[in-house]
């Protein structure tokens, strides 16, 4: 039983805890032992809370023993990206220059998980200041993609450690952030599920900003059901974050009785011609997309190819311009200080915001707002748009070109369009590296994406695969 538990879904683990098949203390110990054994090579965690995690687990077991289970997350061990504050814990946002900083409060989203009974295992590694898609961190170390046996392959970023932790069985789920693909890229490259939530759905109070206009928090999990549970717990109004004040309340149907054919019959999934792609995708990724289309159609979905009135590449550039301008405004007081140990490429990306004029920034924000309206109108006849997660699979670390951003080619548009996006595992290449797809939805229609994604995962098993090296 112990061999399979680290890779079980939150849904399955919750059932085992409720039935008394396992205890939270046993489960937490299992993850902590794996972290102690595997993290030196994988570098997924920057802090591990051994004693506190076990105390939380034992408290969960005591509640359950006395009939006071809080809910399905009670006793489930999770990991948190190191840009979310936890009172009394370190918060370095992936930066060596921030080493030693301590939080004096807990981020609203994380506080809600803890209140729901989650066991917090520790903080995960990330790209410095959350600004990068490859997942590299030259000063604190780049986490290793657990699917690569022969070489150190990239994990994707910026939620690199969160992706590796879930994929390697070092946590039942993890929290990431997404400003241009930082949940979806590592989810895709590590063969797990990631949900980029609509900005404003989940409070960012207590989290380190990269771009106030584009940032969002999202879950990284083994299944779509798991992602929905974590999102529902974290979402909602927060007086500390004005971005949540006008967001609708989103509710998920977490019952598991639906037939995938019933869910997908009548669902309309859009496709765009490859000529609209911002970058050529590998033949194996194109083949995985075709296979996913066949599965969706076989179970009742209507798939239609649409002319795409948006330009992925232009949206990627404009999204990058907004990120750079807002990141420079946040970090400008120290980013020029060469005595601070800051990664050269992250420093360069942030400093590029200095050269963006006020007029350029205003124009980019106007385009962002116009695109959000145009997207909502264009999507009226569809439930989701299916596109690749990334154009390539995870490559060896030595092949990374930090001056290029191919991994964000299909992801930054989700932030620029201000919408919800679900990333799901959809296959493997010839070297057994994961391939993932994205379902773009409408703003605040995460429940619809979840229904489609859950239906797909009921009739596919890509999300159940486990890397050989762990």
Question: What is the share, in percent, of the chain residues with pLDDT greater than 90?
Answer: 96
Q: How far apart are CA 235 and CA 81, in angstroms?
A: 17
pLDDT value, residue 21: 98
**Domain housing 404:** 8-464
Catalytic site residue 182? Answer: yes
The residue-averaged pLDDT of 360-369 equals 98
Whether the pLDDT of residue 3 is over 80: the answer is: no
Whether the pLDDT of residue 293 is over 90: the answer is: yes
Q: Tens of pLDDT along 380-427?
A: 999 999 999 999 999 999 999 999 999 999 999 999 999 999 999 999
- In the β-sheet with 302-305, what is the strand arrangement from edge to edge? 45-48, 119-124, 77-81, 173-177, 217-221, 193-196, 421-428, 434-440, 384-388, 268-271, 302-305
Q: How far apart are CA 259 and CA 437, in angstroms?
A: 22
pLDDT value, residue 263: 92
Predicted confidence band of residue 369 (pLDDT cuts 50, 70, 90): very high
Q: Is 3 within a domain?
A: no
- Round to the nearest angstrom and report the end-to-end CA distance of the chain: 16
Q: Is 1 within a domain?
A: no
Predicted confidence band of residue 162 (pLDDT cuts 50, 70, 90): very high
Q: CA 158 from chain center: how many Å?
A: 9
Q: Active-site residue among 182, 216, 223, 324?
A: 182
Q: Is 184 within a domain?
A: yes
Q: Is 279 within a domain?
A: yes
Q: How far apart are CA 120 and CA 57, in angstroms?
A: 9
Catalytic site residue 151? Answer: no
C-alpha dihedral sign at 27, 31, 32, 34: positive
pLDDT value, residue 470: 67
pLDDT value, residue 149: 86
Q: Is 386 within a domain?
A: yes
Contact 310, 413 (CB under 8 A): yes
Q: Is 176 within a domain?
A: yes
- Cα Rg, the chain, nearest whole Å: 20
CA atoms within 13 A on the CB side of 462: 30
Predicted confidence band of residue 119 (pLDDT cuts 50, 70, 90): very high
Question: What stretch of H or E contains 305?
Answer: strand 302-305
DSSP letters, 7-46, are GS-HHHHHHHHHHTSS-HHHHHHHHHHHHHHHHHHH--EE
Whether the pLDDT of residue 13 is over 70: the answer is: yes
Question: What stretch of H or E contains 119?
Answer: strand 119-124
Q: Active-site residue among 9, 24, 95, 158?
A: 158
Catalytic site residue 97? Answer: no
Q: Determine the Cα angle at 239 with ends 246 and 157, to 5°.
A: 80
CA atoms within 13 A on the CB side of 331: 32
Kindly report the average pLDDT of the chain as a whole number.
97
**Strand-strand pairing, 302-305 and 268-271:** parallel
Q: Tens of pLDDT along 273-285?
A: 999 999 999 999 9
CATH of the domain at 426: 3.90.1300.10
| Number of structural domains found in the chain | 1
pLDDT value, residue 468: 86
C-alpha dihedral sign at 243, 244, 246, 250: positive
Residues forming beta bridges with residue 175, ordered by sequence position: 80, 219
What's 97's DSSP letter? G
Q: Is 156 within a domain?
A: yes
Distances (CA, A) of 248 to 205, 243, 244, 390, 447: 18, 11, 8, 30, 12
Q: Is 469 within a domain?
A: no
pLDDT value, residue 255: 86
pLDDT value, residue 1: 41
Q: Active-site residue among 81, 123, 196, 442?
A: 81
Question: What stretch of H or E contains 425?
Answer: strand 421-428
């Amino acid at each position: 039983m112990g061999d399979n538990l680290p890779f079980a879904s939150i849904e399955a683990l919750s059932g085992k805890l409720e039935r008394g098949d396992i205890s939270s203390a046993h489960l937490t110990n299992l993850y902590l032992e794996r972290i102690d054994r595997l993290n030196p090579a994988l570098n997924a965690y920057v802090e591990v809370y051994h004693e506190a995690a076990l105390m939380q687990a034992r408290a969960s077991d005591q509640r359950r023993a006395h009939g006071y289970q809080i809910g399905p997350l009670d006793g489930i061990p999770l990991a948190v990206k190191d840009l979310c504050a936890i009172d009394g814990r370190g918060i370095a946002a992936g930066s060596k220059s921030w080493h030693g900083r301590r939080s004096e409060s807990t981020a609203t989203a994380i506080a809600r998980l803890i209140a729901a009974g989650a066991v917090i295992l520790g903080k995960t590694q990330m790209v410095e200041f959350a600004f990068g898609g490859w997942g590299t961190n030259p000063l604190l170390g780049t986490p290793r993609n657990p699917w690569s046996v022969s070489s150190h392959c990239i994990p994707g970023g910026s939620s690199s450690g969160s992706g590796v932790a879930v994929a390697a069985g070092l946590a039942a789920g993890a929290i990431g952030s997404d400003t241009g693909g930082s949940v979806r890229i590592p989810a895709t490259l590590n063969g797990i599920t990631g949900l980029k939530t609509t900005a404003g759905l989940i409070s960012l109070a207590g989290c380190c900003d990269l771009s106030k206009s584009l940032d969002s928090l999202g879950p990284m999990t083994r299944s779509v059901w798991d992602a929905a549970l974590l999102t529902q717990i974290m979402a909602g109004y927060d007086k500390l974050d004005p971005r949540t004040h006008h967001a609708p309340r989103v509710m998920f149907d977490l019952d598991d009785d639906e037939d995938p054919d019933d869910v997908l019959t009548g669902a309309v999934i859009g496709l765009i011609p490859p000529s609209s792609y911002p970058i050529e995708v590998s033949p194996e990724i194109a083949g995985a997309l075709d296979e996913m289309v066949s599965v969706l159609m076989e179970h009742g979905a209507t798939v239609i190819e649409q002319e795409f009135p948006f330009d992925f590449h232009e949206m990627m550039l404009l999204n990058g311009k907004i990120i750079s301008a807002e990141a420079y405004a946040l970090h400008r007081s120290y980013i020029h200080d060469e005595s601070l140990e800051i990664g050269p490429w992250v420093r360069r990306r942030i400093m590029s915001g200095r050269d963006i004029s006020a007029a350029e920034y205003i124009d980019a924000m106007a385009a962002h707002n116009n695109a959000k309206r145009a997207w909502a109108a264009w999507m009226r006849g569809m439930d989701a748009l299916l596109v690749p997660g990334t154009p390539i699979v995870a490559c060896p670390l030595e092949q990374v070109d930090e001056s290029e951003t191919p991994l964000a080619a299909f992801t930054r548009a989700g932030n620029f369009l201000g919408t919800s996006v679900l990333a799901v595992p959809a296959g493997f290449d010839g070297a057994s590296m994961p391939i993932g797809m994205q379902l773009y939805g409408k703003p605040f229609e995460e429940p619809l994406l979840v229904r489609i994604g859950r239906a797909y995962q009921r009739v596919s098993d890509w999300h159940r695969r486990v890397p050989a090296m762990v």
